[in-house]
Structure 1
Amino acid sequence: MDTKTDRSFILKGDICYNISPTQFDTRKDAYVVCVDGVSQGVFDELPEKYQGLPLIDCGNMLITPGLNDIHVHAPQYTFRGIAMDLELLDWLNTYTFPEESNYEGLKYASEAYDMFVDDLRHSSTTRAAIFATLHVPATKLLMDKLEDTGLKTYVGKVNMDRNSPEFLCESSAKASLTATRKWLEDVKGAYVNTQPILTPRFTPTCSDELMEGLGNLVQEYGLPVQSHLSENLSEIDWVKGLCPWSTCYGQTYEHFGLLGGLTKTVMAHCVYSTDEEISLMKQAGTYIAHCPQSNMFLSSGIAPIKRYLDEGLNVGLGTDVAGGANLSMFRAISDAVGVSKLRWRCVDQSFAPLTIQEAFYLATLGGGSFFGKVGSFAEGYEFDALVLDDSGIRSVRELDIAQRVERYVYLASEGGTIAQKYVAGARIF
């Protein structure tokens, strides 16, 4: 049961979390206290006022905040690990759009979403921003399944009314907006853990009329927004032709109130954002979902994440399945470090590569703040936690806690185990 009593407890173990983008706080044999699903802080000695709470002794296992995936496509999970040799637009037309059309059938959708939801539940992800498809019944079905996991998620019914195959295209802006409003009314107040998010696929598949209508829905419902921005050079050129009135890709969202400001917006990729686009995002408080694995496999490029951090933009990480091959946020963290080194060496030496502390920050506090006060064990943060057993990752060396966390990021699949997982104080497993 998920009651206030059940969500008040203490974890004891080797604790690691970010206190800034560049710094870990590590504590050996320490206590992190959760009361009513909210962290009360980390203590070397347990304060007397908490000594009556249930204590879960994790021994020398690692305890970290949960990881937040702020860009993933649930219907693409079925073909993850396939077609990693194509570029974005060819990949969409050859694999993605045909696959997403299958979700018109609820039997197929149910079987596919069962796999996605079960694997997400058992992954390191505690919160996620998720694309569904344009199909309202299948999107509601996905929300139902996610609600039961206890994970905290946003789910979006996708909008697309142009430049899409006939089998996966809404007939008009009006039809798309009508379906979206029906979906929003159907799910209003229906869930505790799963919430709707407005989801124009990206500017090339959304007419100006549709974008304007979605902007009106933002104001009416106060919902967050998710989409794609400046991922691929061919895509950017396409947007210039479709929206000659715009001065940059980001303005095609900003013009309609879809870049942030009134509510939170997350834009995936931002590989080639111009100075103007960066300024617009900074002003609007836009979140950037860095998807390093997808950007590699779809030959998109390397986003200048260090610059975005230095300029104070909101940045998190996304797996971008199936542009990325799997749901592992540990892989996303390690890839973020790796591609930043390639960018520094091969593209632009004016910004240093990411450190492990910065990459871990992206997955915890950086993306977590999209969901609220999430991503830390500091007092007042929602209690999302992973208990990581790294005893199966063999070594003869003595490592400190920060080194063990770094090793786990890179070697999670070589003997690492997620022993326990918590979201807002509720134990998932």
Structure 2
Amino acid sequence: MHALCMMVVVYRGTLVHCVQSERIEVLRDHLIGFNEQQNGEIVFVEPACKADELAQEHGFSSDSVTVLTESQFLLPGLVDSHTHPDHYLIAGTGYDKQLLEWVNDYIVPLEAKFKDVQLAKDVYRKAVRRSLLHGTTTASYFATIHLESTKELCRIVDCFGQRALIGKINIDVLSPDYTEEIQASIDDTRKFIKFVQEMQNPLIQAVLLPAALFACSPKLLKMLSQIAKEHSLHIHSHICEQKASIQQSLELHPEYNACSTAFNSYGLLTAKTYMAHCVYLEESDMQLFKQKGVGVVHCPNSNLCLRSGLLDARKMLDMGLKIGLGTDVSGGYSLSVLDALRKSIDVSKALSFSKQDDYRPITHHEALYMATLGGAKVLSLDNKIGNFVVGKEFDALLIDVSPPEATFDTFQWDSFDDIVMKFLYLGDDRNILKRFVAGKELLTD
């Protein structure tokens, strides 16, 4: 038996994932094997009737196979494509205002506190742990302007084993109590990129974060664009979240008539760019995003809480845009991607009331796609994660719909499709027995 064969970990049971946006694929009584010591690379996904053949080829024994119960299934890890872990400090509060007033009254003073590294360590550890509890195996974290605190976020994510894109935010326009000199912002961004590179953790990448068009000067945006080119970085920001924010953005960048055009002119729209919110994108904006390969992050909880608006996910899916989900804590009050999944369906149904009769609200199939493979595409990680395909890495959740503490019930006449749908609508962290990233089980203590 080859040494390589001894590394294969095998599960037998039901696999649930998406290979396209329109349909959830349920693979009943299947075997999935992954190489635990090779980044959890999936080496086979086959019907259980091939067990003897696979055992001979890959060198595992039947008694080493973990067999799932009838109430259990494997699901790809959830992808939170946009969240602010520092905002977890005030999650569930502050929803008496709309975006710009909320930023000035709540977020600017909150983020200024993260100069205190000990405070940052406490909040970040709780936020990352809570994210993992809710099944987020991959997260895109928007940190603050503070270099040392953002380094601590990286260390905490590294300790938990989560997959993440992490960035130090860049701001030179807003409250004088929470801005940076342009050169200081650029210098700290370069230091942060070097820090992440020196971590040599393949699960953690640096992402470039211009906060928003209304928060960054043209000079800062141009300098950030140059850094992105130098290091081939992901770029992440907010765009067209609310009508007032669009107006403020264009007042700061008056030579442009659209936020997408401004970002593009500064060199910040690339195939590795993804933008949060996008509620008020025009048809021309969406076409530009599609042309450039820019991803959209739908943050329905936040858009409702701050009364920003209703994003039309149906239109974006039908146009072939890359689209995923974000919790956007604390604009949204929940760190659960399942919450974002449900609210994305609710928003789509609410939009349907003012549409033509042939308008199709998004389905739970499409919402799960956005929470997994869609999010992976937004983050340019779909070659590694998002579903159970040979050659990808095993990022997964072991779900049980009938643990003693479950908040819902299943019945003998439920089809398995019914059971999956019940979990998506009614399940929570109590249904998640195990969490895997790159083939390694993660602990949340």
Partner of residue 320, structure 2: 312
Q: Distance in 1 between matches of 2:6 and 2:434?
A: 15
Encode CA deviations 1:111-165: one digit per residue, 9 max, x unaligned. 1112112212322101011100000000001001101111110001000001x22
TM-score (norm. length: structure 1): 0.94
Amino acid at match of 1:41: V
Contact 1:27-1:44 at 8 Å conserved across structures: no
Equivalent residue letter for 1:45: C
Q: State the match for 2:353 in structure 1.
A: 345
Give per-residue Cα distances to partners, 1:279-317, cap 9 Å, x unaligned: 111111001000111111110111111111111110000
The residue that corresponds to 2:331 in the other structure is 323
Supply the AA of the counterpart residue of 2:253: C
Deviation at 1:348, TM superposition (A): 6.1
Task: Establish whether residue 411 from structure 1 lines up as the match of residue 426 from structure 2.
Answer: yes
**Over aligned residues, Cα RMSD in angstroms?**
1.9
The residue type equivalent to 1:50 in the other structure is L
Q: Identity of paired residues, percent?
A: 30
CA gap of 1:50–1:238, structure 2 versus 1, over 3 A, is same
Equivalent residue, structure 1, for 2:278: 270
Q: Name the SS of the counterpart of 2:386 in structure 1.
A: coil
Which of 239, 256, 261 does residue 251 from structure 1 map onto? 261
Alignment-derived partner of residue 13 in structure 1: 13
**1:382-397, aligned counterparts within 5 Å?**
382-391=393-402, 392=406, 393-397=408-412
Letter in 1 for 2:54: Y
Counterpart of 1:399?
414
Letter in structure 2 aligned against 1:241:
E
> Aligned residue for 1:79?
90
- Aligned match of 1:55: 65
Contact 2:79 2:137 survives alignment (8 Å):
yes
Whether 2:184 is the aligned partner of 1:175: answer yes
Given that 1:389 and 1:417 are in contact with CA atoms closer than 8 Å, whether structure 2 keeps it comes out as: yes
In the TM superposition, what is the alpha-carbon distance from 1:6 to its structure 2 partner? Answer: 8.7
Kindly state the Cα deviation for residue 328 of structure 1 after the two structures are TM-superposed. 0.8
| Contact 2:210–2:221 (Cα < 8 Å) also in 1 | yes
Q: Which moved more, 1:416-425 or 1:223-232?
A: 416-425
Cα drift, residue 178 of structure 1: 1.5
Q: Secondary structure at the match of 1:259?
A: coil
Task: State the alpha-carbon separation in 2 of the partners of residues 242 and 214 from structure 1.
Answer: 17
- Partner of 2:68, secondary structure, is strand
Q: Give secondary structure in 2 for the equivalent of 1:377.
A: coil
**What secondary structure does 2:30 align onto?**
strand
CA contact (8 A) 1:129 1:153 kept: yes
Paired residue secondary structure (1:343): helix
Q: Find the residue that maps to 1:398 and give its secondary structure.
A: coil
Q: How does 1:221-240 map to 2 (within 5 A)?
A: 221-240=231-250
- The equivalent residue for 1:375 is 386
Q: What CA distance in whole angstroms lies between the structure 2 residues aligned with 1:106 and 1:295?
A: 30
For 1:12-66, what per-residue CA distance to the aligned partner results, in whole angstroms no more than 9, with x for missing partners? 2222111211112212332222233122224242443532434122212021111
Asked whether the equivalents of residues 103 and 109 of structure 1 are also in contact (C-alpha less than 8 Å), the reply is yes
Per-residue CA deviation, residues 55-90 of structure 1 (Å, 9 max, x unaligned), is: 122212021111100000010011000012321111
Amino acid at match of 2:180: E
**1:428 alignment counterpart:** 442
Q: Is the 8 A contact 1:19 1:25 kept in 2?
A: yes
Match of 1:121 among 106, 112, 132: 132
Measured at CA, do residues 177 and 363 of structure 1 come closer, stay the same or move farther in structure 2, by a change above 3 Å?
same
CA distance in 2, matches of 1:266, 1:409: 25
Q: Aligned-pair distance for 1:227?
A: 0.4
Structure 1 residue 189 displacement after superposition: 2.8
Higher mean Cα deviation, 338-347 or 396-405? 396-405
Q: Do the aligned residues in 2 keep the contact of 1:147 with 1:191 (CA within 8 Å)?
A: no
Superposed, 1:128-277 pairs within 5 Å as 128-162=139-173, 164-171=174-181, 173-192=182-201, 193-261=203-271, 264-277=272-285
Report how far residue 350 of structure 1 moved: 6.0
Instruction: Give the counterpart of 1:355 among 358, 363, 367.
Output: 363
How far residue 187 of structure 1 moved from its aligned partner, in angstroms, is 2.7
Alignment partner for residue 45 of structure 2, among 41, 63, 67?
41
Deviating more after overlay: 404-413 vs 132-141 = 404-413
1:16 partner letter: V
Structure 2: gaps spanning 5 or more residues: none
Most deviating of 84-93 and 48-57:
48-57
What do the CA deviations read for 1:366-420 (whole angstroms, capped 9, x no partner)?
011222421111222221111111113224452222221111111114x842111
TM-score (norm 2): 0.91
SS of residue matched to 2:394: coil
SS of aligned partner of 1:219 = helix
Please give the alpha-carbon distance, in whole angstroms, between the structure 1 residues aligned to 2:5 and 2:108. 46
Maintained 8 Å contact 1:156/1:198 = yes
Shift of 1:363: 0.7
Distance 1:149 1:46 in 2: 35
Indicate how the Cα distance of structure 1 residues 229 and 4 shifts in structure 2: closer, same or farther if over 3 A, else same. farther
**Residue pair 1:344, 1:350 contacting (<8 A) in 2 also:** no
Verify the 8 A CA contact 2:31 2:51 in the aligned structure 1. no
Structure 2 letter corresponding to 1:303 = L
Relative to 1, partners in 2 of residues 1:407 and 1:111: Cα closer, same or farther, differing over 3 Å?
same
